[in-house]
């Protein structure tokens, strides 16, 4: 493996394609007329070819030079997915600076930490809202030299002595190109394979965010390997709608897009994503399970309103698809009559449905970040959509394991990605080593040392095992979350939470019970699904809180919990994790309150401390609990809500015998 | 402040110009009922002017006088330094006045886009035949107007409902679509009849921002009626207060807030 890696590196090094600007130059010269970026604006898809994009990016880089950007400066980019923001990142690399994309929905104080930590002197903001946040931060942090903004709306009144519109900077760059051309070319030629490509902050379920430094080598090798793995070409179309600060978006919309030379499509706004998805019809698509869940819920809701004939047709053919669709996709033998019926179903149901969802052209689809419900996963696969799972991390430049075509299952995350080595430690924690392994955590050598050992092995923090029969990796839980119950049996909260979350009514679940003799749970209802159900059953409610506390809702959730308990009890190792008592929370767990991360992972410890009173009530046998909770509004103001919650006892399967985890 | 030619500068530094519209001693009667009694005030270029008052004070009637829908029995309406004769609503629209309605008046069966396009009717010169055939001039004209409409759709952030029939929209969004249609007419004076009635706090905040942005970005003069006092005081540069058809106050929000008659009208004092 070591030999092959070196070979690959020298090859790409020899071709001179050791930076994104170099790849951009290749794309602009080899297929300059091919579309590189599209963005829907004013109702029309605006398009830039590779040659045009290269010219825009160069103008921006020249503008950066005119502003006085030095090598090694950090340029923060805060905004939604827009071509101009991707260009800012590549232009930053051209002048030797380090782009740092940030989550645009962060509140000012979170952003302040990251801006201070990376020491960004220049900030590219999407709109007025982001500019306001940066100005607020700047009051305490006098390091930002210049703010740039993309959307000019509402910006006229601002003091522009240290501020400018991005397009004006580009115009200045164009005008000054005679002065700066030579300097820019010099800086581009100085970029090496081991220079920093991008710095991404991990949201971190514990503690402060950490700045993961990824080199050109990390990004380009990962993009290359993964593109070859899935046979991506420059004819792909992707929709870029996931947060730009997330490593996945950087790899798909920048790394792979530049390596392969395919087109990046940016939606008009966050709300139009589904419409834009349909108009673009991507061939390569990435989404967290939540997107697929929402789509499926919408399909089911609309089918319930459809005519009786359509419903019967839908049910009939979906049953058939469930039987043979996945097998056909995997290339397994299927009888002629079944194939014929599937083809008919494709004309009548699957085809139109895929078209409505925007998946009619899809070749490869990925989901990651969280476990996906097996039914949801199978639904998409049975339609003939090649949806697969991968397991990755920012520190690995995404890829650790991926599912190869034809070996796709709902309960595993696939085999090691090309050039990735895996090992499982004694405590079950997964370690990996690959060319994508990050350089370091910025200004944090202790964390770097505790995560990455001198030989390059990185601890994932997840516990799992490799299935012997297939070589696929299965994830159990976060290694630090796996604990022991009072009787010594295994406590793996994620396992139970995922089972709960597979019910459309349940948005989020948090299980407690480490060191106790039984488990209890918090549950968040899904307002869309439960609200729709309430509407159909004539249940009136005025607020989320009221709906969440409705006796019939509690009854429904109780049934879900009972079913989950049954299925958990079936697993010998984890039967101790059944939910004995639960509450339906009066508010959604929210990133603004710090309860979940921006990528929607529960901060278990934080939630446990914040709602300590409720947990206590869950264990002491009381029937209700009254609590007051602090909430943070989107603009950063704080308020509080109080509620009396009903505690529900859930039926549990009395396990014949707990198998105590092997000591 | 009421010097006719000079403007003034607001607290947040916006320059307000001269008088655009002046109402002189307006009296409006419906049979025996006197809806408006001898009211005079002016609206200046670039300002946000609010008309407030308790229910039945005659605010909507006043707005209808400004928009030319009602012709007052007494008094004069001066617009851009000229006395305005009684005119048809479309003539008023051509003068650069657009409005929204208290009870939403959109075409429910049409999409948002089509509704907003109707706001451009005054800019379309081709006849029904040309438009039906959609050839030559008609096509170019539609493209041009569509572009203007798309900019407004972008401005008011309603891209996601562009193709949605209005009947399927919630109330708050319908109000926004109405504003979009009014803006499509590129008005110099925009009349808003209770733009925030029936909205929740978040929708109100959004609407406030849009109104301020419209005023700031397009320099549109805005006259609005609103019940929510918090909103009015935050939003407007000057306020006219009406009660039982009479003007009881006129001035900046602070002046009006401290006006005894206004306080009485709002807190309730017997009228005998």
Q: What is the pLDDT of residue A32?
A: 94
Give yes or no: residues B92 and B204 share one domain. Answer: yes
Give yes or no: residues B153 and B69 share one domain. Answer: no
- Identify whether B230 is part of a domain: yes
Q: Which residue ranges in chain A fall short of pLDDT 50?
A: 1-14, 657-663
- CB of A491 within 8 A of CB of A519? yes
Q: What is the pLDDT of residue A399?
A: 94
Q: What is the pLDDT of residue A10?
A: 40
- A-chain CB neighbours of B150 within 8 Å are 42-44
Q: Strand B48-52 vs strand B238-243: parallel, antiparallel, or unpaired?
A: parallel
Give yes or no: residues B58 and B193 share one domain. Answer: yes
Instruction: Please tell me if residue B162 touches chain A, with a CB cutoff of 8 Å.
Output: yes
- Identify whether B193 is part of a domain: yes
**Which A residues 31-50 touch B at CB under 8 Å?**
41-44
| Residue B170 domain boundaries | 107-184
Instruction: Please tell me if residue A275 touches chain B, with a CB cutoff of 8 Å.
Output: yes
- This prediction's pTM: 0.82
What does pLDDT average to over chain A? Answer: 89
Q: What is the pLDDT of residue A6?
A: 41
Give yes or no: residues B86 and B201 share one domain. Answer: yes
Mean pLDDT of B10-31: 86
- CB of A34 within 8 A of CB of A40? no
What are B197-248's pLDDT values in tens digits? 888 888 888 899 999 989 988 889 999 998 888 888 889 999 999 988 899 9
What are B162-171's pLDDT values in tens digits? 999 999 998 8
- A-chain CB neighbours of B11 within 8 Å are none
**A198 phi and psi, to 5 degrees?**
-160, 155
Question: What's CA A86's distance to the chain center, in Å?
Answer: 18
What's the CA gap between B206 and B219, in Å, rounded?
19
Q: Which of B184, B216, B248 is the last residue of a domain?
A: B184
Nearest C-alpha neighbor of A184 from the set A276, A246, A92:
A92
Q: What is the pLDDT of residue B10?
A: 78
Query: Which residues are CB-neighbours of A148 under 8 A, at least 6 positions away?
Result: A88, A122, A123, A124, A125, A163, A164, A165, A166, A169
- A-chain CB neighbours of B218 within 8 Å are none
Say if the Cβ atoms of B160 and A271 lie within 8 Å: yes
Say if the Cβ atoms of A153 and B213 lie within 8 Å: yes
- CB of B212 within 8 A of CB of B196? no
Ordered by where they begin, the domains of chain A are: 17-227+244-256 (3.40.50.12780), 483-649 (3.30.300.30)
Nearest C-alpha neighbor of B43 from the set B61, B27, B60, B67:
B67
- Identify whether B102 is part of a domain: no
Give yes or no: residues B147 and B134 share one domain. Answer: yes
B164 CA: distance to closest CA in chain A (Å) = 11
What's the CA gap between A400 and A229, in Å, rounded?
13
Q: What is the pLDDT of residue A9?
A: 41
Give yes or no: residues B230 and B246 share one domain. Answer: yes
H or E element in which residue A168 lies: helix A166-175
Burial of A307 (0-12, 13-18, 19+ CB in 10 A): exposed
H or E element in which residue B186 lies: none
- Identify whether B54 is part of a domain: yes
H or E element in which residue A27 lies: helix A20-30
Q: What is the pLDDT of residue A473?
A: 92
What are A421-430's pLDDT values in tens digits? 999 988 788 9
Number of domains in chain B: 2
Mean pLDDT of B176-180: 94
Where residue B189 falls (left for φ over 0; alpha for ψ -120 to 50; beta otherwise) is: beta
What are A209-255's pLDDT values in tens digits? 899 999 999 999 999 999 999 999 999 999 999 999 999 999 999 99
Give yes or no: residues B147 and B121 share one domain. Answer: yes
What does pLDDT average to over chain B? Answer: 87
Q: What is the pLDDT of residue B201?
A: 84
Instruction: Please tell me if residue B218 touches chain A, with a CB cutoff of 8 Å.
Output: no
Say if the Cβ atoms of B213 and A154 lie within 8 Å: yes
- Identify whether B207 is part of a domain: yes
- Identify whether B101 is part of a domain: no
In chain A, the N- to C-terminal Cα span, in Å, equals 36
Say if the Cβ atoms of A269 and B217 lie within 8 Å: no
- Identify whether B236 is part of a domain: yes
- Identify whether B244 is part of a domain: yes
Give yes or no: residues B180 and B202 share one domain. Answer: no
Within 10 angstroms of residue A459's Cβ, the number of other Cβ atoms is: 16
Residues B6, B10, B16, B18, Cα dihedral to 10°: -30
CATH, residue B258: 3.40.50.300
**pLDDT tier at B86 (50, 70, 90 boundaries)?**
confident
Q: What is the pLDDT of residue B268?
A: 67
Nearest C-alpha neighbor of B220 from the set B22, B13, B43, B94:
B43
Q: Which of B184, B202, B233 is the last residue of a domain?
A: B184
Say if the Cβ atoms of A154 and B217 lie within 8 Å: yes
Which of A40, A41, A43 should be substituted to probe chain B, the one whose Cβ sees the most B Cβ atoms within 10 Å? A43
Measured in residues, chain A has a length of 663
Closest in A154, A157, A268 to B159, CB measured: A268
Say if the Cβ atoms of B216 and A154 lie within 8 Å: yes
Give yes or no: residues B69 and B139 share one domain. Answer: no
Say if the Cβ atoms of A43 and B150 lie within 8 Å: yes
Say if the Cβ atoms of B157 and A154 lie within 8 Å: no
In chain B, the N- to C-terminal Cα span, in Å, equals 33
Say if the Cβ atoms of A157 and B216 lie within 8 Å: yes
What are A162-212's pLDDT values in tens digits? 999 999 999 999 999 999 999 999 999 999 999 999 999 987 656 788 999
Instruction: Please tell me if residue A268 touches chain B, with a CB cutoff of 8 Å.
Output: yes
Q: CA of B215: which chain A residue's CA is closest?
A: A154
Give yes or no: residues B16 and B149 share one domain. Answer: no
- CB of A76 within 8 A of CB of A100? yes
Mean pLDDT of B103-109: 90
Give yes or no: residues B120 and B3 share one domain. Answer: no
Give yes or no: residues B268 and B146 share one domain. Answer: no
Is the alpha carbon torsion for A242, A244, A250, A256 positive or negative? positive
Q: What is the pLDDT of residue A660?
A: 43
Quick check: helix, strand or coil at residue B132? helix
Q: Which of B133, B151, B184 is the last residue of a domain?
A: B184
């Amino acid at each position: 493996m070591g030999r092959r890696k070196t070979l690959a590196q020298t090859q790409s090094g020899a071709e001179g394609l050791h930076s994104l600007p170099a790849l951009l130059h290749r794309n602009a010269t080899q297929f300059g007329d091919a579309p590189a970026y599209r963005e829907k604006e004013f109702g029309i898809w605006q398009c830039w070819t590779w040659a045009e994009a290269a010219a825009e990016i160069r103008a921006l880089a020249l503008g950066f030079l005119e502003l006085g950007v030095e090598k090694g400066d950090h340029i923060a980019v805060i905004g939604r997915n827009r071509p101009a923001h991707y260009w800012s990142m590549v232009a930053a690399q051209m002048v030797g600076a380090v782009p740092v994309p940030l989550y645009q929905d962060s509140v000012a104080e979170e952003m302040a930490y990251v801006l201070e930590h990376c020491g960004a002197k220049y900030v590219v903001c999407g709109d007025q809202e982001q500019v306001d946040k940066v100005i607020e931060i700047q009051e305490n942090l006098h390091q930002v030299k210049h703010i740039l903004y993309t959307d000019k709306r509402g910006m006229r009144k601002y003091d522009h002595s240290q501020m400018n519109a991005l397009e004006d900077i580009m115009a200045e760059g164009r005008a000054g190109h005679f002065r700066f051309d030579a300097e820019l070319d010099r800086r581009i030629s100085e970029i090496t394979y081991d220079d920093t490509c991008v710095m991404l902050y991990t949201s971190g379920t514990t503690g402060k965010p950490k700045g993961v430094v990824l080199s050109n080598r990390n990004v380009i090798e990962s993009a290359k390997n993964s593109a070859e793995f899935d046979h991506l070409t420059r004819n792909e179309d992707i929709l870029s709608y996931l947060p730009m600060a997330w490593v996945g978006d950087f790899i798909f919309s920048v790394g792979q897009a530049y390596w392969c030379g395919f087109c990046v499509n940016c939606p008009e706004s966050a709300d139009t994503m589904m419409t834009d998805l349909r108009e673009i019809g991507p061939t390569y698509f990435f989404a967290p399970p939540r997107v697929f869940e929402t789509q499926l819920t919408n399909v089911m809701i609309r089918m319930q309103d459809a005519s009786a004939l359509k419903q019967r047709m839908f049910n009939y053919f979906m049953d058939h698809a469930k039987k043979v669709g996945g097998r056909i996709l995997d290339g397994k033998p299927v009888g002629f009559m079944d194939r014929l019926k599937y083809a008919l179903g494709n004309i009548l149901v699957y085809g139109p449905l895929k078209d409505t969802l925007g998946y009619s052209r899809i070749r490869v689809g990925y989901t990651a970040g969280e476990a996906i419900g097996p039914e949801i996963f199978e639904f998409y696969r049975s339609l003939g959509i090649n949806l697969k799972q991968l397991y990755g991390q920012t520190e690995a430049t995404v890829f650790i394991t991926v599912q190869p075509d034809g070996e796709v299952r709902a309960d595993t995350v696939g085999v090691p990605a090309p050039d990735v080595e895996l090992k499982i430690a004694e405590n079950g924690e997964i370690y990996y080593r690959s060319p994508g392994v990050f350089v370091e955590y910025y200004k944090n050598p202790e964390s770097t040392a505790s995560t990455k050992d001198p030989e390059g092995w990185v601890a994932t923090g997840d516990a799992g095992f490799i299935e012997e029969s297939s070589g696929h990796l299965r994830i159990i839980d976060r290694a630090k979350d796996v604990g022991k119950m009072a009787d010594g049996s295994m406590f793996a909260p994620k396992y139970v939470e995922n089972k709960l979350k597979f019910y459309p009514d349940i948005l989020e679940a948090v299980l407690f019970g480490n060191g106790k003799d039984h488990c209890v749970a918090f549950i968040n209802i899904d307002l869309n699904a439960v609200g729709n159900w309430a509407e159909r059953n004539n249940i009136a409610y005025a607020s989320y809180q009221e709906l969440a506390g409705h006796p019939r809702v509690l009854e429904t959730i109780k049934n879900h919990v009972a079913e989950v308990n049954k299925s958990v009890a079936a697993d010998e190792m984890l039967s101790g994790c059944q939910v004995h008592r639960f509450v339906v929370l009066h508010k959604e767990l929210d990133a603004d309150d710090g309860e979940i991360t921006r990528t929607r992972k529960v901060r278990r410890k934080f939630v446990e401390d914040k709602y300590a009173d409720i947990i206590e009530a869950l264990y002491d046998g009381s029937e209700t609990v009254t609590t007051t909770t602090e909430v943070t509004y989107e603009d950063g103001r704080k308020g509080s809500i109080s509620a009396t919650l009903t505690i529900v006892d859930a039926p549990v399967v009395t396990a014949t015998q707990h198998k105590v985890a092997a000591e | 402040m009421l010097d006719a030619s000079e403007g003034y500068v607001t607290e947040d530094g916006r320059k307000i110009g001269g008088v655009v519209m002046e109402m002189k001693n307006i009296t409006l009667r419906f049979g025996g009922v006197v809806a408006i009694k001898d009211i005079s005030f002016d609206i200046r270029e670039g300002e946000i002017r609010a008309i407030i008052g308790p229910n039945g004070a005659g605010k909507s009637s006043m707005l209808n006088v400004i928009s030319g829908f009602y012709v007052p029995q007494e008094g004069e309406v001066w617009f851009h330094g000229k006395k305005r004769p009684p005119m048809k609503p479309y003539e008023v629209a051509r003068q650069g006045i657009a409005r929204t309605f208290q009870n939403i008046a959109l075409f429910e069966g049409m999409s948002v886009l089509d509704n907003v396009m109707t706001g451009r009717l005054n800019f379309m010169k081709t006849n029904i035949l040309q438009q039906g055939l959609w050839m030559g001039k008609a096509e170019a004209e539609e493209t041009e107007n569509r572009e203007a409409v798309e900019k407004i759709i972008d401005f008011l952030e309603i891209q996601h409902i562009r193709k949605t029939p209005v009947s399927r929209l919630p109330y708050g969004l319908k109000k926004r679509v109405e504003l979009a249609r009014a803006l499509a007419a590129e008005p110099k004076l925009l009349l808003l009849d209770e733009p925030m009635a029936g909205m929740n706090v978040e929708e109100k905040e959004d609407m406030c921002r849009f109104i301020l942005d419209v005023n700031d970005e397009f320099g549109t003069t805005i006259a609005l009626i609103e019940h929510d006092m918090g909103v009015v005081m935050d939003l407007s540069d000057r306020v006219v207060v009406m009660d039982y058809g009479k003007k009881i106050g006129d001035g900046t929000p602070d002046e009006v807030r401290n006006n005894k008659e206004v306080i009485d009208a709002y807190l309730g004092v017997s009228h005998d």
